[in-house]
Amino acid sequence: MPRRLLVDLAPLRHSRDFRLIFSGQLVSTLGSQLTAVAVPYQVYRMTHSSLDVGLVSLAQLGPLLICSLIGGSVADAHDRRRVLMITEFLFATASTGLAINGGLRHPQLWPLFALSAAAGGLAGFDRPTFNAAIPRLLPTGDLSAAYALWQVQFQVGIVVGPSVAGLILAGGGLSLLYWIDVVTFVVSFVSVTALRPQPPLEGAGPAGWRSVAEGLSYLKGRQVIQGVYLLDIDAMVLGMPRALFPALGLNFFHGGAQAVGFLYAAPGAGALIGALTTGWVKVIRRQGRAVIIAVILWGGAVTAFGLVRILWVALILLALAGWSDVVSAVFRSTILQTAVPDSLRGRLSAIQIAVVQGGPRLGDLEAGGVADAFGTSFSVVSGGVACLVGAALLAVALPGFRTQIAPDLAAAAPA
């Protein structure tokens, strides 16, 4: 494979602090994926109710959306290193509670809901702060490569974590999964403590709802930033077929549980391949146009996926969709962090987290509702077509995003 296609490792060479948070988050993401499997597994084993499993996921969404808004405000008003230290410590505490409960002879159900909700709220502080911290660590020209590497560690966790969790669960080690997650948060905490301080810049205001409103008002008239959010909403709400995978695997492809598993794994596999082959992204100047093309490719792949009848072809199309999604994510993160002043990065990153986390869940609702009314295949195809139409309309309505040009790639990192 040509070297320039492989993910660019320059950010790891150029910044000690980026190496620290990358390695810490790689370990922590693997641990979090263990818990992401353990919690629903334990809930279902205790209640034998898929509804309860869904409610645990829903319990995280509200705290995440609310706390991400105020969390971005906190990230802009305080030393980001200190904010991360606190959140990583509290994450470890929440996982410790899950581990203790999981080790009881008669575990309780309510801690699974309460601690999952708490973790969702903590993510609303943690993720925007990490995103806002990265631009201070690197030259501007390294940012697209840095966010590509960030996608690599995330996708590795998604692919490897559940597989490891399955092996441990097969041996009956439910509580062990939680304790491993605790250890990974300790590793992340140590990596964060070794960072240089990131105090707020001069003129930063106090955290609070007025600060949140200031961040939201910054969006007015700024099409470059609006496009980052709206293109992702278009792809995830209209063109996300994830909720239909069980019905498709069992009733459409007639492949049983194995086919369902393949359908869920295919987008992640494509995303991981995409993240590992992003060496080319740093030379792309028209990043807004690249996002639009990636979303169109996502919608086209989803539409074609809804029309095919052969499982292996369907899996390739889903992998292509995952590849295009991760490319879009790299460019969207780069655009956002270079177009926003440092004093607002936490708050604008928080909106991005709300969009990224909330969009797929709304997409599940949309896809399931259309499928119940008109059929599974119609839901997939109509969603893909709607995504394509939405991307075209947004490209026309947001010329500022469509014609966006990357800043000077030789610019130095912020002080």
14-39 tens-digit pLDDT: 999 999 999 999 999 989 888 887 88
Instruction: List all residues 6 or more positions away from 276 whose beta carbon is below 8 Å from its beta carbon.
Output: 6, 7, 152
pLDDT band with cut points at 50, 70 and 90 for residue 190: very high
pLDDT of residue 151 exceeding 50: yes
pLDDT of residue 215 exceeding 90: no
Between 82-86, 185-189, 402-406, the lowest mean confidence (pLDDT) is in 402-406
How many angstroms separate the CA atoms of 8 and 2, rounded?
12
Cβ atoms of residues 10 and 142 within 8 Å: yes
Mean of pLDDT over the chain: 86
Cβ atoms of residues 67 and 121 within 8 Å: yes
pLDDT at residue 412, as a whole number: 43
What burial class does residue 273 get, using C-beta atoms within 10 Å of its C-beta: 0-12 exposed, 13-18 middle, 19+ buried?
A: middle
Task: Express each pLDDT in 119-147 by its tens digit.
Answer: 989 998 998 899 888 888 988 888 888 88
pLDDT at residue 376, as a whole number: 85
Q: Is the dihedral of CA 330, 122, 264, 31 positive or negative?
A: positive
pLDDT at residue 205, as a whole number: 62
Displacement of CA 261 from its chain's centroid (Å): 20
What Å distances lie between residue 336 and 8, 109, 114, 299, CA to CA?
A: 20, 40, 33, 22
Task: Express each pLDDT in 365-397 by its tens digit.
Answer: 788 888 888 888 899 999 999 999 999 999 999
Between 49-53, 239-243, 250-254, 321-325, the lowest mean confidence (pLDDT) is in 49-53
Closest CA to 140 of 343, 409, 335: 409
Q: Where does CATH 1.20.1250.20 sit in the chain? A: 1-212, 218-409
pLDDT of residue 330 exceeding 80: yes
pLDDT at residue 184, as a whole number: 96
pLDDT band with cut points at 50, 70 and 90 for residue 5: confident
**pLDDT (average), residues 319-328:** 93
pLDDT at residue 73, as a whole number: 86
Closest CA to 344 of 228, 233, 207: 207
Q: What letters, b where the CB count within 10 A reaches 16 and e where it falls short, cover 231-258? A: bbbbbbbbbbbbbbbbbbbeebbebeee
Task: Express each pLDDT in 33-86 by its tens digit.
Answer: 888 878 888 887 888 775 677 677 778 888 888 888 788 888 888 899 999 999
Displacement of CA 99 from its chain's centroid (Å): 25
Q: Which letter does DSSP use for residue 205 in this model?
A: P
How many angstroms separate the CA atoms of 277 and 315, rounded?
19
Q: In the CATH scheme, what is the code of domain 218-409?
A: 1.20.1250.20
H helix runs in 250-306, sequence order: 256-276, 287-305
Crossing angle for the helix pair 345-374 and 110-133, nearest 10 degrees? 130
pLDDT at residue 13, as a whole number: 92
Which of residues 414 and 340 earns the better pLDDT score?
340
Helices (H) and strands (E) in the chain, counts: 17, 0
pLDDT at residue 94, as a whole number: 96
What burial class does residue 124 get, using C-beta atoms within 10 Å of its C-beta: 0-12 exposed, 13-18 middle, 19+ buried?
A: buried
| Amino acid type, 43 | V
Task: Express each pLDDT in 59-72 by its tens digit.
Answer: 888 888 888 878 88
Beta carbons within 10 angstroms of residue 88's beta carbon: 25
Cβ atoms of residues 298 and 235 within 8 Å: yes
pLDDT at residue 415, as a whole number: 37
Which of residues 190 and 350 earns the better pLDDT score?
190
**pLDDT (average), residues 215-244:** 87
Q: Is 206 strand, coil or helix?
A: coil
Q: Is 281 strand, coil or helix?
A: helix
Q: Which letter does DSSP use for residue 202 in this model?
A: T
pLDDT at residue 414, as a whole number: 42
Beta carbons within 10 angstroms of residue 358's beta carbon: 17
Crossing angle for the helix pair 209-217 and 50-77, nearest 10 degrees? 90
**pLDDT (average), residues 94-102:** 95
pLDDT at residue 165, as a whole number: 79
Q: Which tokens belong to 285? A: 């100047």
Which of residues 320 and 57 earns the better pLDDT score?
320
Q: In the CATH scheme, what is the code of domain 1-212?
A: 1.20.1250.20
How many angstroms separate the CA atoms of 309 and 320, rounded?
17
Q: Which letter does DSSP use for residue 197 in this model?
A: P
Crossing angle for the helix pair 287-305 and 311-339, nearest 10 degrees? 160
pLDDT of residue 186 exceeding 80: yes
